[in-house]
Amino acid sequence: EPRHILVTGGAGYIGSHMTLALLDAGERPVVIDDLSTGFRSAVPDGVPFFEGNSGDPALLGAVFDRYPIEAIIHFAASIVVPDSVSQPLDYYANNTVNARALIECAVRRGVPHVVFSSTAAVYGEPATVPVDEDQPTAPINPYGRSKLMVEWMLQDTAQAYPFSYAALRYFNVCGADPHGRTGQSTRNATHLIKVAVQAATSQRDGMDVFGTDYPTRDGTCIRDYVHVSDLAQAHLDALRHLRAGRPSIICNVGDARGHSVREVIDVVKRVSGVDFEVRLRERRPGDPASLVASNARARQMLGWTPRYGDLDTIVRHALAWEQTLLQRRQNG
Ligand code: UDP
């Protein structure tokens, strides 16, 4: 039987874009998702779907019995930095402990490759930006630590077994499928661009800016915003790299340009044509002042070329998906 790719968290925001990218590339995705934040409707018809925890050995056994899995792309995780500060043990359970079980099943079943969703949060407050992969990891919140421990497990596993991995350190993932097929559907999302487009479409009453006294050009935090479809492409590129027998790799996936919170909000206002209320608030716990990627390694080693890095394009796609969600809700 032809080889399949297991996508954990495939019903979620990034995972649903990945599943589409795999189908577009002629691959065969299989999805596991516990639907805690994902949506069954985000998994395309015809894609095998298993509901449950990606760290459950019984569920993984059932998947591996049914489908020959060539690689696992592991998205299923909790991703909200302030939540990780208030509920650290939940983050270690869901992000670290579950990944350990998944890696063990992969090794036992002879799955040769894992592509792992890591995060720029492993750098903490980097000494210099743009940050490259050789800079020391020093996460400043439990979210970043919960992911960094998985990178270490993968590194040690690749030393001990015939197994290779790519750990992709995502910067701020945003936007939506350029063809309008999927997007970020989480209603109580906390991420900046999602919150701003919700404000622009009157789904929330304005928005807050968390911290205006950072040592940055306008006092608000600087982040690197990468389009979710470019991110999915980086996973396809990583898969090609591992299949070619090349060594395990850790790669930033970012656009390599930094935008402040105020700049992002201005773009959302301009592109949407809506001037929503913006309230200046205290800093949020766990936020570094500035995080911008060097993406030279992903470009050179994976052959990755981002196509939708422009913030206007990202915001246009995010707004279009927000309109789709609104229409769907109106139609019941
Ligand atoms: N942010 C904000 N208002 C919001 C959401 C986020 O000011 O409603 C800020 C947040 O404090 C951070 C930046 O936007 O400086 C990006 O935060 P986000 O939660 O989108 O991603 P993170 O970088 O924490 O993964």
Per residue in 31-77, pLDDT (tens digit) is 999 999 999 999 999 999 999 999 999 999 999 999 999 999 999 99
Residue 303 token pair: 């052959």
Cβ of 171 below 6 Å from ligand 1: no
Region 239-246 average pLDDT: 98
Cβ of 221 below 6 Å from ligand 1: yes
Domain with CATH 3.40.50.720 in the chain: 4-172+226-253
pTM recorded for the entire structure: 0.97
Region 284-312 average pLDDT: 95
Please give the C-alpha separations between residue 220 and each of 8, 141, 158, 212, in angstroms, as whole numbers: 34, 19, 40, 5
Region 255-283 average pLDDT: 98
**Over the range 85-107, which residues count as b (16 or more CB within 10 Å of their CB) and which as e?**
beeeeebbebbbbbbeebbebbb
Q: Which residue has the least CA distance to atom 14 on ligand 1?
A: 192
Of 253, 219, 220, the C-alpha closest to 236 is 253
What pLDDT does residue 189 have?
A: 87
Region 3-16 average pLDDT: 98
**Quick one: CA torsion of 64, 66, 72, 76, rounded to 10 degrees?**
-90
What pLDDT does residue 311 have?
A: 97
Q: Please, what sign has the CA dihedral across residues 234, 151, 154, 136?
A: positive
Region 221-238 average pLDDT: 98
Q: Is 236 within 8 Å of 25 (Cβ atoms)?
A: yes
Ligand 1 atom showing the smallest separation from residue 195 Cα: 8
Residue 268 token pair: 């959302």
Q: In CATH, which superfamily holds the domain spanning 192-223+256-330?
A: UDP-galactose 4-epimerase, domain 1 (3.90.25.10)
161: Cβ contacts below 8 Å, ≥ 6 apart: 107
Ligand 1 atom showing the smallest separation from residue 194 Cα: 20
**CB count in 10 Å sphere of residue 325:** 17
Region 307-324 average pLDDT: 97
Region 94-98 average pLDDT: 98
Annotation says 92 is catalytic: no
> ipTM of this predicted complex?
0.98
Angle at which helices 142-160 and 98-108 cross, to 10°: 20
Flag whether pLDDT at 88 surpasses 90.
Answer: yes
Class level of CATH domain 4-172+226-253:
alpha beta
Cβ of 224 below 6 Å from ligand 1: no
Q: Is 81 within 8 Å of 124 (Cβ atoms)?
A: no
Task: Report the Cα 27 to chain-centroid distance in Å.
Answer: 20
Flag whether pLDDT at 1 surpasses 80.
Answer: no
Q: Is 80 within 8 Å of 49 (Cβ atoms)?
A: no
**CB count in 10 Å sphere of residue 42:** 22
Question: How do beta strands 222-223 and 259-260 pair?
Answer: antiparallel
Residue 56: DSSP 8-state: -
Per residue in 190-214, pLDDT (tens digit) is 999 999 999 999 999 999 999 999 9
Domain with CATH 3.90.25.10 in the chain: 192-223+256-330
Cβ of 265 below 6 Å from ligand 1: no
What pLDDT does residue 195 have?
A: 97
Torsions phi, psi of 239, nearest 5?
Answer: -60, -45
Region 298-316 average pLDDT: 97
Q: Is 116 within 8 Å of 167 (Cβ atoms)?
A: yes
The pLDDT confidence band at residue 2, using thresholds 50, 70 and 90, is confident
